[in-house]
């Protein structure tokens, strides 16, 4: 019995021992001066609570490079034990060296992480070094807490930040908007902490310190006065290095001409930084008495310099984040911080393409007073983060789960699906009308919709989308399965890109228009776009008189005149995508103005618009109407009235329609043929467009150049 109670006591003691919560081993890895300013407050908090946390510090990246200030020393000065120093930067300051640096970090980190065996790795931000840290930890089954996820900016950092988010198990964000972004990225809401920015804990407590003058004098000289100097921090934009170098040069020129004391920090280690330093030296910045160029300023001193500056300029996140806490005027240059939340103290100069523009921004901002903003924090981020870390349950499964929004279930194939009519949506956009139809694979029109073509780009795109969505919805009722969308439009079209490059005045606001993307995105279907004349030629080839014919030309007439050329069974587009613009062959130098901007084109004589013009002339001269015809007062005179008058015996109308040349002489007999071919089509005679002539049956042309048929 005594042995039994001893065993029970041992089991109980063992259970109590196991239930005692062990310290959470936290590894904080810092790569550069900027991320240390955000991580240091967390590190101080962890170090101050040894009963709950065991802190390991790993230093890598530009901290260990002399050109960037050997900033690992300030970590040692803050009395942190550094458990590993990893030289991971491959010098070169270009795109390739950034990639090589990530690779080198991935090679060195596993040994360190195996030795330290942390429970949690804290990773900050969006730098390429941080991506290597997150990748290593994720692959080694170490939980990751990511600080400042969910934010948006305008460079490669955006992609890196979101990539780290997907690798991380827990998230500490700074703003409500960032929190919503993380939720939209399918992250688990229970693993997201809205804490604020840790650096705000330090800078808000430093706002009322009285020793700032000694800091200002240390970095800017004894004659410096508060609010009468500028802090400049500008980094390369890795996605457009050439443009960022030009912008930096313009910034330096503007600062030199503005002639105020300026503290300028060297750029970070991103691709392009070496070239930016060359620009600084070329401008003589380090020798200019109005400038102080420095590699690094300790964060607690830097925030005093920012707080008492007359203005801050550049593209650093400090300008749109920390500077707002003091109400310091900021000029944000370029796109590097596009998408960041900012206070009213920030003036954006996104197109910083001239020195005058930047100089004018300095005149507007320098010395201004703005209210302090706390968009990024209230000074209590660290206590929230420590409390969050204490709640982590290490017994939970390591595999993270994503919270995807609900999606429609896949519909199993049944007999109705098999019996559906395979179809396509056809969109025909002309100078007057916009038509959409459901077309079966046999070429039968199942349903057609017609509207007037709007005059503006916005209304036109909106109407096309509305009509296509309506047709796609109706297709279900007609038991049709839509496989794709074909768009026929006037104008010069690049069919490879689905873009209307240029259009005449017949279709207004129709230049450089991407038709494929919005329609494909709306309908989730493949979309093909081509010129209406080319589409007509393809239709003739598939369903009409072009079946089995290797070489033929199609001419379409309506509001304007277009065409399509098939040669050796292939549709010819031409190098400029205008091989068959037959309506814009010039037949008279001094002829009437055409909608394309030229003069004397065939379209200016023989199109629906041209015939309408001639009909109006006859009507104004009271020579259009014949017995049996009438035009109401509110009825517009059109080409139809001209054709009707000719058919009812009006000799003048008939003469206009049957003219085989304009009033000016044509210089080439081949061009006369073009007009001869067009006239019968306009008079609605039962012939097959210009794919046929009475004499030859089909045109046979050996080659095509520049829109002329030879």
Is 594 a known ligand-binding residue? yes
Catalytic residue among 532, 590, 634, 654: 532
How far is the C-alpha of 411 from the C-alpha of 468, rounded, in Å?
23
C-alpha 268/C-alpha 315 separation (Å) is 12
Is residue 63 annotated as involved in ligand binding? no
Has 535 been labeled as part of a binding site?
A: no
| DSSP string of 439-458, one letter each residue | EETTS-EEEEEEEEPPSSHH
Is residue 532 annotated as involved in ligand binding? yes
For this structure, is 532 an active site residue?
Answer: yes
User: Do 588 and 664 form a contact (C-beta atoms < 8 A)?
Assistant: yes
85's CB contacts (< 8 A; 6+ apart) are 59, 60, 64, 72
The answer to whether 461 touches 488, Cβ cutoff 8 Å, is: no
Is 601 known to sit in a ligand binding site? yes
Q: Does 275 carry a binding-site annotation?
A: no
φ/ψ region of 124 (left if φ > 0, alpha if ψ in -120 to 50, else beta) reads: beta
Distance of alpha carbon 605 from its chain centroid, rounded? 44
Here the tokens at position 396 are 């939970």
Tallying the residues shown for the chain, one arrives at 710
Helix axes 381-390, 198-205, angle to 10 degrees: 140
Q: What is the C-alpha to C-alpha distance for residues 421 and 479, in angstroms, rounded to an integer?
A: 6
Unique residue bearing structure tokens 């062990």: 22
DSSP 359-425: HHHHHHHTT-------TT--S-HHHHHHHHHHT--TTS-SS----PPP-PPPPPP-HHHHTSEEEEE
**Cβ-based neighbours of 162, under 8 Å, separated by 6 or more:** 149, 185
Tokens standing for residue 510: 């129709």
Does the annotation flag 504 for ligand binding?
Answer: yes
CA distance 415 to 436: 28
SS3 content of the chain, % helix, strand, coil (to 5): 40, 20, 40
**Which residues are CB-neighbours of 325 under 8 A, at least 6 positions away?**
200, 203, 204, 207, 372, 373, 374, 376, 377
Asked if residue 216 lies in contact with residue 305, where contact means CB atoms within 8 angstroms, the answer is yes
Pick the closest to residue 333 from 200, 155, 175 (CA basis): 155
Closest CA to 219 of 316, 322, 305, 311: 305
Is 389 exposed, middle or buried, given 0-12, 13-18 or 19+ CB atoms closer than 10 A? buried
Contacting residues for 369 by C-beta, under 8 A, at least 6 apart: 327
Burial string for 336-373 (b: 16+ CB within 10 Å, else e) reads bbeebbbbebbbbbeebeebeebbebbeebbeeebeeb
Residues forming beta bridges with residue 502, ordered by sequence position: 492
Query: What is the SS3 string spanning 98-133?
Result: HHHHHHHHHHHHHHHHHHHCCCEEEEECCCHHHHHH
- On whether 322 is known to bind a ligand per the annotation, the reply is no
DSSP-assigned beta bridge partners for residue 125: none
Cα–Cα distance, 466 to 460 (Å, whole number): 10
Q: For residue 184, count CB atoms less than 10 angstroms from its CB and return exposed for 0-12, middle for 13-18, buried for 19 or more.
A: exposed
Does 179 appear as a known binding residue? no
Catalytic center residues = 532
Annotated binding site for an N-acyl-D-mannosamine: 492, 504, 532, 581, 584, 603
Q: Which residues are annotated as a binding site for Zn(2+)?
A: 584, 594, 596, 601
Q: Which residue numbers belong to the known binding site?
A: 492, 504, 532, 581, 584, 594, 596, 601, 603
């Amino acid at each position: 019995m005594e042995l039994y109670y001893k065993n029970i006591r041992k089991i109980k003691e063992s259970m109590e021992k196991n239930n005692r919560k062990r310290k959470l081993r936290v590894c904080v890895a810092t790569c550069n001066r900027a991320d240390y300013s955000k991580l240091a407050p967390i590190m101080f908090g962890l170090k101050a609570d040894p009963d709950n946390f065991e802190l390991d510090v790993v230093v890598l990246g530009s901290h260990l490079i002399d050109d960037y200030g050997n900033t690992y020393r300030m970590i040692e000065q803050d009395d942190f034990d550094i458990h590993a120093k990893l030289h991971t930067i491959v010098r070169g300051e270009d795109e390739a060296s950034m990639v090589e640096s990530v690779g080198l970090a991935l090679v060195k980190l596993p040994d360190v992480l195996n030795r330290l065996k942390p429970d949690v790795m804290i990773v900050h931000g969006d730098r390429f070094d941080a991506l290597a840290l997150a990748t290593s930890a994720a692959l080694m089954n170490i939980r990751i807490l990511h600080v400042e996820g969910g934010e948006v900016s305008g460079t490669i950092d955006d992609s890196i930040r979101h990539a780290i988010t997907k690798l991380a198990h827990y998230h500490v964000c700074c703003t409500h908007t960032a929190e919503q972004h993380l939720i939209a990225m399918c992250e688990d809401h229970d693993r997201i902490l809205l804490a604020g920015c840790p650096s705000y804990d330090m800078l808000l407590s430093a706002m009322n310190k009285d020793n700032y003058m000694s800091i200002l004098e240390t970095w800017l000289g004894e004659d410096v006065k508060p609010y009468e100097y500028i802090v400049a921090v500008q980094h390369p934009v890795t996605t457009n290095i050439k443009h960022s170098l030009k912008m930096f040069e313009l910034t330096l020129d503007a600062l030199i001409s503005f002639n105020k004391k300026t503290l300028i920090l060297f750029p970070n280690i991103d691709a392009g930084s070496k070239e930016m330093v060359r620009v600084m030296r070329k401008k003589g910045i380090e020798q200019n008495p109005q400038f102080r160029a420095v590699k690094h300023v300790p964060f607690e001193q830097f925030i005093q310099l920012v707080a008492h500056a007359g203005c801050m300029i550049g593209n650093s996140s400090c300008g749109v984040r920390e500077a707002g806490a003091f109400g310091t005027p900021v000029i944000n240059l370029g796109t590097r911080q596009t998408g960041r939340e900012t206070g009213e103290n920030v003036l954006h100069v996104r197109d910083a393409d001239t020195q005058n523009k930047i100089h004018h921004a300095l005149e507007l901002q320098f010395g201004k007073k703005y209210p302090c903003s706390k968009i990024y924090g209230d000074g209590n981020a660290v206590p929230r983060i420590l409390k969050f870390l204490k709640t982590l349950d290490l017994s939970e499964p390591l595999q993270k789960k994503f919270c995807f929004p609900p999606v429609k279930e896949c519909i199993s194939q049944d007999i109705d699906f098999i019996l559906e009519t395979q179809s396509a949506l056809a969109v025909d956009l002309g100078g007057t009308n916009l038509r959409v139809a459901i077309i079966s694979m046999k070429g039968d029109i199942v349903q057609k919709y017609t509207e007037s073509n709007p005059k503006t780009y916005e209304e036109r795109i909106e109407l096309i989308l509305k009509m296509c969505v309506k047709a796609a919805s109706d297709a279900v009722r007609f038991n049709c399965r839509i496989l794709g969308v074909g768009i026929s439009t006037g104008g010069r079209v690049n069919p490879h890109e689905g873009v209307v490059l240029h259009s005449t005045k017949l279709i207004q606001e129709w230049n450089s228009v991407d038709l494929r993307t919005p329609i494909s995105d709306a309908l989730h279907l493949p979309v093909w776009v081509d010129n209406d004349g080319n589409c007509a030629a393809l239709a003739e080839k598939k369903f009409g008189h072009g079946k089995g014919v290797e070489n033929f030309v199609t001419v379409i007439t309506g509001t304007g005149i277009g065409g399509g050329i098939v040669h050796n069974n292939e549709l010819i587009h031409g190098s400029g995508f205008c091989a068959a613009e037959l309506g814009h062959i010039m037949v008279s130098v001094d002829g009437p103005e055409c909608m394309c901007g030229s003069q004397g084109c065939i379209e200016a004589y023989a199109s629906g618009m041209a015939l309408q013009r001639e009909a109006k002339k006859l009507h104004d001269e009271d020579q259009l109407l014949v017995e049996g015809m009438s035009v109401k007062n509110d009825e517009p005179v059109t080409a139809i009235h001209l054709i009707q008058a000719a058919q009812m015996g009006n000799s003048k109308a008939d003469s206009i329609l049957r003219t085989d040349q304009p009033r000016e002489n044509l210089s080439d007999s081949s061009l006369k043929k073009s007009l001869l071919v067009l006239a019968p089509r306009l008079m609605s005679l039962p012939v097959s467009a210009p794919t046929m002539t009475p004499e030859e049956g089909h045109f046979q042309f050996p080659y095509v150049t520049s829109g002329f048929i030879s």
